[in-house]
């Protein structure tokens, strides 16, 4: 565990612009490329924030735990999930590098967070976060856009689980992760990203059976829409995947 000791500049840099657009066939504003808050940006705001490394499978916190900090992911992926009384698990969302994780209003965690691969986070005390939020409008806008994007994803996923076919659910999740990982508007150039998800993770995020997810992925691979293999997602034509979603 190390500390970020970089001294904040007198004038903080403006955050990168958000690339916002609606995918074809998707509700307007359903997906927005995230505001990527990199290490320099975080250091500028939180010079004494704690950097923490987490191995794959470790929990950042469990559901119901008291959370004294808010977190930003520098490296690695994680999943937010709730455990059900019958032993099942519902994955609520995935957390990617540059994205914040925390609860502005509540200090008890409404879900658990588990690392999907080796990861590194910055832990920001709640008081320091509140001070930066109130003192820097640019930072406040960046955080609001991040949480707005997370809320839009949650609403879209709820709609998918209640109304959309299994194939569409899988396609929308893959298309969302490609956009979040690359920040790119769907185009016809091939895209490949690291995807530390198993078929079980995809099933738990889309409320499908593993067998159903397997069939959907095989079909998408056979049709040249998307290929998930050995921790990598390859999309020959992102525009085609967006149309499927």
Inform me whether the pLDDT recorded for 90 exceeds 90. Answer: yes
Residue 27 confidence (pLDDT): 35
What separation in angstroms does the CA of 27 have from each of 18, 155, 180, 202, 241? 18, 11, 17, 22, 16
Sign of the C-alpha dihedral, residues 121, 122, 126, 129?
negative
- In order of their start, the domains of the chain are 1-163 (2.60.120.10), 164-245 (2.60.120.10)
Inform me whether the pLDDT recorded for 33 exceeds 70. Answer: no
117 vs 51, which has greater pLDDT? 117
When mean pLDDT is compared across 2-11, 19-28, 62-71, 124-133, the lowest value belongs to 19-28
Q: What percentage of the chain exceeds 90 in pLDDT?
A: 42
CA atoms within 13 A on the CB side of 87: 0
- 186 contacts 23 by C-beta, under 8 angstroms: yes
Cross-strand partners of 208: none
Q: How many residues does the chain have?
A: 245
Residue 195 confidence (pLDDT): 95
231: left (phi over 0), alpha (psi -120 to 50) or beta: left
Model pLDDT for residues 158-214, shown as the tens digit of each residue: 898 889 999 999 999 999 999 888 877 667 889 999 999 999 999 999 999 999 999
The pLDDT-based confidence of 54 (bands split at 50, 70, 90) is very high
Inform me whether the pLDDT recorded for 215 exceeds 80. Answer: yes
Model pLDDT for residues 127-165, shown as the tens digit of each residue: 888 888 888 888 888 888 888 888 888 898 889 888 999
In three-state form (DSSP H/G/I as H, E/B as E, the rest C), the secondary structure along 109-171 is CCCEEEECCCEEEEEEEHHHHHHHHHHCHHHHHHHHHHHHHHHHHHHHHHHHHHHCCHHHHHH
Q: What percentage of the chain exceeds 70 in pLDDT?
A: 81
- 95 contacts 101 by C-beta, under 8 angstroms: yes
CA–CA dist 57, 114 (Å, integer): 6
């Amino acid at each position: 565990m190390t500390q970020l000791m970089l001294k904040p500049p007198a004038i903080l840099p403006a955050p990168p612009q958000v690339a916002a657009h609606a995918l074809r066939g998707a509700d307007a504003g359903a997906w927005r490329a995230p505001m990527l808050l990199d290490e320099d940006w975080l250091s500028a705001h939180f010079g004494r924030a704690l950097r923490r490394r987490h191995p794959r499978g470790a929990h950042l916190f469990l559901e119901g735990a008291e959370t004294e900090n808010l977190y930003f992911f520098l490296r690695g992926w994680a999943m937010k999930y709730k455990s059900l009384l019958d032993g099942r698990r519902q994955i609520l969302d995935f957390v990617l590098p540059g994205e914040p994780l925390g609860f502005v209003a509540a200090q008890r965690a409404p879900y658990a967070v588990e690392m999907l691969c080796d990861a590194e986070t910055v832990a920001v005390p709640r008081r320091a976060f509140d001070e930066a939020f109130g003192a820097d409008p640019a930072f406040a806008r960046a955080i609001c856009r991040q949480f707005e994007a997370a809320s839009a994803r949650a609403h879209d996923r709820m709609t998918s689980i209640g109304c959309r076919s299994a194939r569409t659910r899988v396609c929308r999740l893959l298309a969302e992760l490609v956009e979040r990982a690359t920040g790119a508007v769907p185009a016809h150039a091939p895209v490949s990203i690291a995807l530390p998800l198993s078929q079980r993770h995809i099933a738990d995020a889309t409320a499908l059976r593993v067998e159903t997810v397997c069939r959907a992925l095989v079909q998408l691979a056979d049709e040249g829409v998307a290929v998930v293999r050995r921790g990598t997602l390859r999309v020959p034509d992102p525009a085609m995947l967006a149309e499927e979603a």
